Every structure is written in C-alpha cells, then in structure tokens.
Amino acid sequence: MPKVQTPDWVKDAVFYQIFPDRFAKSDKGLKPRNLEAWDSPPTPQGYKGGDLWGVLEHLDYLQDLGVTAIYFTPIFQSASNHRYHTLDYYQVDPLLGGNRAFYALRDEMHRRNMKLVLDGVFNHASRGIYYFNDILENGPHSAWLDWFTVNGWPLSPYDGSRPANYECWAGNYALPKWNTDNPQAREYLMGVAEHWLREGIDGWRLDVPFCITSPGFWNEFRQRVKAINPEAYIVGEVWWESMNYLEGDQFDAVMNYLFTEAVISFTCQQHLNYELVRDRPYNPYPPIDAPRYADRIDKLLGMYHWEITLAQLNLLDSHDTPRLLSIANGDRATVRLATLLLMTYPGAPSIFYGDEIGLPGGGDPDCRRTMTWDNRERWDMDALDYHKLLIRLRKANAVLRRGRYERLYAEGMVYAFGRQLGDDSVLVAVNVGDSQQTVQFPAKGLVPNDAQLTVAFGRGSACVEGGEISLTVPARDGVILA
C-alpha cells in the first residue's frame, strides 16, 4: 500500500465554492445582449453573465471573509451556464473573460497566497466538442470514432424520442461519454489535466469520477498530476464511503457529503424540509439526536487515514444541493449551528458562495442564485459576522485545524467534543434542542482542574471541578470554549 500523503496547505485552507455565472459580473469582456437580469430567478439554460473579472474584483471581500482557496465549478468553453458540457478544455469560456481573465485572476490570487482549484469534467464532454462533432458529421468514417462509444446508427443527439445510439452520462444526450479505455482519448484527458497544472492551478475537483471505471485511470491521473506539482489537490465528487479512492494512490480527498448529511440531520431537527432533500444522492434525514450524531461522526473519523481526514472537503451544501437555509425552512439557527460544526471539524471547510450572507435556494437551478452585491440590505449581516469570527478562530488556532478530535458528551440534544494539539485544547458544544441544558461529563485530561474556560464563540458557560466539566448551553445554540 502506498504512503498516504496529502497536500499540506489543504489542512489549513478555507475554501469558497464559486459558480462563475452567478457570483459577480464585471463591465469587462464579452457581454451579449441576451442575458437574464442579474436579480431575476435563475433558469436552467439562461445566462446571467458572471465572469472571472468579477471574481477578481471581489478578492478583497473574500479575503476579508477569511477565504484562502477557491473551488470553481467548470470555467471552460461550454454551451451551458454551468459549463459541465465542455466544448474546449483548453479555452476558458469567453463569457467568463477567456484565458486572459483566468491568467489575471490566477496571478492576483497567487500574489495574495490564495489557491485556485478547477473542476475537471473528464467523464463526458458535449455534443459540440470537436471530436464528437466530427462523428456527428462523418458517421462511421470519423477519425475519432473510438474516442467515444457508438452502439449503432444513426446517432440521435437531439431527438430524445429516438435512441441516442452512443454512451452518454446518465442518459443525457447532451453529454457523450469519453471512451477512457481508448489510450488516445485517455492521453488527451491526461494532457488537459497536466496543461492547467503547468498554467498554475493548485488542484482538480473531479466531477463524477466513479463513472470512469477504466482500470488504472485515476492511479495514472494522480501520478501525472503529482509529478508536476506534488502539492496539487485531487478531490473527487463521491457522495458515499470512498475507501477505494482514498488509499494514497488515487485521490487526496472527496467532497465529504457523509459529514454534510450527518450535520443537517442533527442541526435541522423539526425544521427540515423533506421535499428538498428526498431522492438525492445523500440522505440528510430523518432528524437524529446527539448520540446518533456522535456515532456517525465517530464512524466517519475512523473511516480513513488521519492524513486523508485532514484533507477532506467538508461542506454544508453546493451547486448540486438545495441551500441549507432553505432545507431548514429558513431557520437561521440551523445554519449557525451547522457552520459552527463545519468550522471546528477536521478537514478543509468549504462555503458555497452566498451562504455567508443568508442566500436561500431550493433545488437546481434555484440553488444557483446570484449574489446581491447591489442590494446588501438583503444580506444577513449576523451570518456574515459569525462566518468571519469562526473562520478567524480556525485560522488563529492550529488545534481547530490539526488537533485530535474526541467525543466528550452526547446525550439528548447536546453534543460536546474536544480538539487537542500539544498543550492547546478547545471545547466545542452544541445544543440543537428547544430548551437550555446544563450537563456534566469527565474532562478526560482536556483541561486541568479548576481551569478558567473562556468563551471564544457563542453563548454558554462552563467550569471544571474534580475532573468534571459542567456546561450550560442555551437552546438552539453552541459555544467554543478555550
């Protein structure tokens, strides 16, 4: 088994996920006239005109929030607002400002010591990519025929009433699947990954990597990525237990949806909107109490090598899920409790753009609303403040990033855990119930007897006497004690 080693910078990172069409729109570059109004509800196919220049103009905002790394959903040329329909892997979409905007953003981010991670869509392309379009034009005479998998003739790329006759992702005719068993197609995709690493990106988030089953594909991918930049981050979109990818020879981490579903189930309680999360690849329901939450966290912490755990991409929502505020039927306490757990858990926390200002959103495309830069009276300033405070505490205290994690108490609706690194220790507790609770539990050497515990975040109080911690936490609140 290979040595398990993950990028050191990820363990201290705070990620921010940006859906480029919806984050910020600059006055630069190509702006066609048929764009949707920025503040209008998002639609499946309409464009808002957000671009990378707009991201560049808001780096001060992101750094003030505490962000150290940005994960972008796809930025390459595509005939879709989400850009998972790749037309050209070597060209940044002109609506996003093209390659020129990318290089300007890359340079400024690196000047600020911020990391840049791109979305790698290597399982499928689009009907319009040159290689597949050649098949549509020339049929069985195409030179690129075996770069995809054709099952019969004629092909039907647009008429859904007829069989597509080619392999496509999830039955979507717009997304022909690469034949990654073909050495040439495989080499093409490896070359794309290598090219953008040489151009200065800091890692790849891999879209539906479990759909690529060609033997050795992801092993080779890792070898070639790490040969260019040993500290490049490789994180896969896998929604379930992922040990087969996380043994040191493929990915550094996955998007930690197992953490997501546990946190939502625990913090939402009766506020959870079942209709928004049913039939999704994760299961943040039914509501669970503190013992069940603690058991799930203990299982998750024991699932992977500690080096992997410290590099997991932890999140509460994303472009693929409804936003947590809407899942919780607008209950702001749920988001605050969940964010507290996110920012004190091992691994790299990731904020989906707008969550820090209370941006709501149901299922796709509603979860992909625009940032309201010109309408800040709609911002939840309390949410912005506690995001900043929690991030500041995490960045200022290595114990919250790299310290060991130990369950201290889990009864009823109260959960408490400790983080310890050398002589530094932190106690975190949350009460997801509707009444104030006072609980006692052994200190387990986390803090010395008669120590004074200082509230660093939230409301609550605690004292230590006779090796026991007595802790009081108000209803639907949490506390960090140092």
Residues noted as catalytic: 207, 237
Q: Are 414 and 430 in contact (CB under 8 A)?
A: yes
Which pair of tokens denotes residue 252? 């550094």
Q: How far apart are CA 286 and CA 102, in angstroms?
A: 43
What is the distance between the terminal CA atoms of the chain, rounded to a whole angstrom? Answer: 39
Q: Are 263 and 251 in contact (CB under 8 A)?
A: no
Burial 178-199 (b: 16+ CB within 10 A, else e): bbbebeebbebbbebbbebbee
Burial 321-360 (b: 16+ CB within 10 A, else e): bbbbbbbbeebebbbbbbbbbbbbbbbbbbbbbbbbbbbb
User: Nearest-CA neighbor of 366 among 119, 83, 93, 40?
Assistant: 40
Q: How far apart are CA 234 and CA 259, in angstroms?
A: 19
Which pair of tokens denotes residue 207? 């879209």
For the chain, the 3-state helix, strand and coil shares in percent, each to the nearest 5, are 35, 20, 45
Q: Are 253 and 311 in contact (CB under 8 A)?
A: yes
Q: How far apart are CA 278 and CA 282, in angstroms?
A: 9
**Beta-carbon neighbour count of residue 447 at 10 Å?**
21
What secondary structure letter does DSSP report for 302? T
